[in-house]
Amino acid sequence: MGRTELSGFIATLNRDLSIARREGGEAFLAVLFFVLGALLFPLGVGPEAQLLAAVSAGLIWVMALLSTLLALDRLFQADWREGTLELLVISPEPLPLIIAAKCTAHWIVTGLPMAVAAPVMALLLNLPPEGWFTLVGALLIGGLALSFIGSICAALLIGSRRGGVLMTILALPLYIPTLIFGAGAVQAAVGGYESTGHLALMGAITLSSISLCPWVTSAALKQAME
């Protein structure tokens, strides 16, 4: 039949991506939130160049976190409402693989566009150009971690009453290391120091979340489906 181990992964990836494409703008609302939120800060704190430059790295990262949180609902909610989530859980494909595909699709639709939009925001927020390359790289690597780690919280909250706010409370403690190292990497690059230490730790977080989170999320999904 020519089916490989990855065929389930690729099939789910394609499915989620086509759903996102069909939904059109809805998938990009998170990116919109990302950009608009970051633009609010100069209006709020004033356009003073030095101030913006000092906080821009952290600001962009915080907005990336919040936008990912906003988009986490999309991971499982629609499938759960339509009943396809149950089918995915009982399918013969290993559930962690399916979850990994969904998280990757989530990242492609939210994290990747954010990383692409980041230089524009860096320009508007006065982040010195030395930091741009590191910013995009860190957002790419970290965004993947955010989608995978967030999948645990999304799975835990399926069918709960106050999903949105609770998602924030659950996910933020788990997101903080990514935030610290991500923003730290950019700030190091801006300051002329080595950012490889921060990036290496972020890479470690991403790699461990890619390998571990799908298992935890699948346990969470299974108990949600009982």
Partner 1 sequence: MNLSTAPKGNFWHRLANPARFERLARWLTPWFLLGFLGFVSTGLYFGLYASPIDYQQKDTVRIMYVHVPAAWLAMMTYSTLAISGFVFLVWRHPLAEVAGLAAAPIGAVFTALALVTGAIWGQPTWGTWWVWDARLTSVLILFFLFIGYIALRNAFDDPSRAAKSTAILAIVGAVNLPIIKFSVEWWNTLHQPASVSRFDAPAIDPAMLRPLLLMACAYLCLFFFVLIFRMRLELVRRRITALQYAQAGVSDR
Q: Which residues bind partner 1 (CB under 8 A)?
A: 152, 156-157, 159-162, 166, 169-170, 172-174, 176, 216, 219-220, 223-224, 226
Q: How far is the CB of 180 from partner 1 (least distance, A)?
A: 8
Could you give the CA distance from residue 40 to residue 57 in angstroms, rounded to a whole number? 15
Which of 139, 221 has the CB closer to partner 1? 221
Residue 2: Cβ within 10 Å count: 4
Q: How far is the CB of 23 from partner 1 (least distance, A)?
A: 27
DSSP annotation of 83 reads T
DSSP code per residue over 172-198:
HHHHHHHHHHHHHHHHHHHHTS--HHH
Contact 204, 140 (CB under 8 A): no
Q: How far is the CB of 145 from partner 1 (least distance, A)?
A: 13
Which of 46, 173 has the CB closer to partner 1? 173
Q: How far is the CB of 199 from partner 1 (least distance, A)?
A: 17
Which of 53, 219 has the CB closer to partner 1? 219
Could you give the CA distance from residue 63 to residue 194 in angstroms, rounded to a whole number? 24
Which of 69, 117 has the CB closer to partner 1? 69
